[in-house]
Structure 1
Amino acid sequence: MFDPYESDHDQQPADAPARLIVEADGGSRGNPGHAGYGALVRDPDTGRILVEKAAYIGKASNNVAEYSGLVSGLELAREINPAASVHVKMDSKLVVEQMSGRWQIKHADMRVLAAKARKVLDPRRVTYEWIPRERNKDADRLSNEAMDAGMAGVDWKPRAAAATTAGEPPVAAAVPRPAGRLHHLEVWTRDLTAAEASLGWLLERLGFPRMESWKDGVSYGSDDFYVVLESGPDVADASHERRRPGVNHLAFRAGSRADVDLLARRAGSHGWTLLFAGRHPFAGGPEHYAAYLENAEGFEVELVAV
């Protein structure tokens, strides 16, 4: 019987690893906005990175960038050993679930990229695993290097090549990324639907576009910083109390005083209550113009005029 995935070229090269790990990531600054991806192939036995690649793809969504990274990673693996068993690790729940066949692919651009990914290697030899972003640092670094390079109008170069080019610093150095900067914030909620209606609505108004969604969660923002709203069986059946020790509230730059006033007025229709109404808008002090809001679950946010 004819097998569309069999090829005269699918012979394992001498000394090539029979198993390979692909790690891929993609990002978009603006979603859609300046986008890029990063991909690498790792030897599962030694953990050594065998090859890596990154590319700027112009203006695109975060999900398109993620899929582009996947395609590139599979192509890199095919170049090393077209007959290898490949295990893909990504922090995009959407891509992993769709490529594993558990979620439908509704977006036309992603259907095209998913079909392209399935043609690179025999899908029967490719498995997928979702990993947290903190375990995908190498691919994340590559995708950010690609976006940095594209926004600077230069081509991405691997770190080793960039370091040996006389007089030219590595592209990644063009945009410093301090180690202490916040990466993401995760908010657990007992009612994800209600949290999306209140906190999700507010995040989008503050410039955090919806990124990805999965069974028990949704994220807003970009690869530079994002906020996760998550529910599920691990969330304790207890009310949030902001006055207990721990994080009290989140404060966001909300634009001008007029912007703060407008958001505060509209927030009431989306599950928010104005706190400290008697002292609004100077509850934080005579020089601090802000609105303090609380939703039905007790989460507090502060909208600061800047």
Structure 2
Amino acid sequence: MSLNGTLHHVEINVSDLDKSKAFYSWFLVELGYQLYQSWDKGFSYKKEETYLVFVQTEEKYLDKTYHRSATGLNHLAFHCDKELIERLTKQLQEKAWPILYLDRHPYANGVEAPALFFEDPDRLKIECAAY
């Protein structure tokens, strides 16, 4: 099977590498990713042929904060079955990590399939979708 057209990798600059590493080391491992690379200013996790890279933002750019409604990336969405969504929801609650759209959870996506929405340490929205 050809890999043409499949996503190779995504690189995301983060404001605090340690906080992001703690968060993504938990979350991505729950999704079946494995640590792929690690160096002074970054790390990556890989699943099959796709990997996500997280790099410490340079000091001179740290004053420019991220907002998902501005031009650029809005959110990352991952396929998750209902059981994984339930497990992640419980773990987020145990960590006291805010769940977005809690009043409509787990159907905040407007369809009759469960989804989970939350933010990473830089407020990048994460979606886990069972549809």
TM-score per shorter chain, which class?
Answer: 0.7 to 0.9
Partner of 2:23: 198
Partner of 1:277: 102
Figure out how many residues of one structure are paired with residues of the other and give that number. 130
Distance in structure 1 (CA, Å) of the matches to 2:56 and 2:96: 18
Q: Which runs of 5+ in 1 are unaligned?
A: 1-174
Distance in structure 1 (CA, Å) of the matches to 2:95 and 2:70: 25
Structure 1 residues 24-64: Cα deviation after superposition (integer angstroms, max 9, x where no partner) = xxxxxxxxxxxxxxxxxxxxxxxxxxxxxxxxxxxxxxxxx
Alignment check: 8 A CA contact 1:208 1:221 kept: yes
Deviation, 1:268, is: 3.9
- Report the 3-state secondary structure (helix = DSSP H, G, I; strand = E; otherwise coil) of the residue aligned with 2:98: strand
Deviation, 1:272, is: 3.4
Alignment check: 8 A CA contact 1:201 1:270 kept: no
Could you say which structure has the larger radius of gyration?
A: 1
Pairing 1:250–2:63 present: no
- Out of 40, 43, 47, the residue aligned to residue 218 of structure 1 is 43
Distance in structure 2 (CA, Å) of the matches to 1:200 and 1:243: 26
Partner of 1:291: 116
Cα RMSD (Å): 1.9
The normalised TM-score by structure 1 is 0.40
Structure 1 residues 302 and 276: alpha-carbon distance in aligned structure 2, compared to 1, 3 A threshold: same
Structure 1 residues 231 and 271: alpha-carbon distance in aligned structure 2, compared to 1, 3 A threshold: farther
Alignment check: 8 A CA contact 1:185 1:227 kept: yes
- Report the 3-state secondary structure (helix = DSSP H, G, I; strand = E; otherwise coil) of the residue aligned with 1:227: strand
Distance in structure 1 (CA, Å) of the matches to 2:60 and 2:14: 7
Deviation, 1:234, is: 6.2
Structure 1 residues 235 and 253: alpha-carbon distance in aligned structure 2, compared to 1, 3 A threshold: farther
Structure 1 residues 281 and 222: alpha-carbon distance in aligned structure 2, compared to 1, 3 A threshold: closer
- Report the 3-state secondary structure (helix = DSSP H, G, I; strand = E; otherwise coil) of the residue aligned with 1:292: strand
Alignment check: 8 A CA contact 2:35 2:45 kept: yes
Deviation, 1:188, is: 0.7
Structure 1 residues 236-287: Cα deviation after superposition (integer angstroms, max 9, x where no partner) = 21221111122110000122x1220111220245573200011111111132
- Out of 185, 194, 200, the residue aligned to residue 10 of structure 2 is 185
- Report the 3-state secondary structure (helix = DSSP H, G, I; strand = E; otherwise coil) of the residue aligned with 1:239: coil
Q: Which runs of 5+ in 2 are unaligned?
A: none
The normalised TM-score by structure 2 is 0.88
Percent identical pairs in the alignment equals 30
Q: Per chain length, whose mean CA-contact separation is higher, i.e. which structure has more relative contact order (CA < 8 Å, sep 6+)?
A: 2
- Report the 3-state secondary structure (helix = DSSP H, G, I; strand = E; otherwise coil) of the residue aligned with 1:272: coil
Alignment check: 8 A CA contact 1:241 1:298 kept: yes
Pairing 1:227–2:52 present: yes
The structure with the greater share of residues assigned to helix is 1
Distance in structure 1 (CA, Å) of the matches to 2:55 and 2:115: 27
Partner of 1:39: none
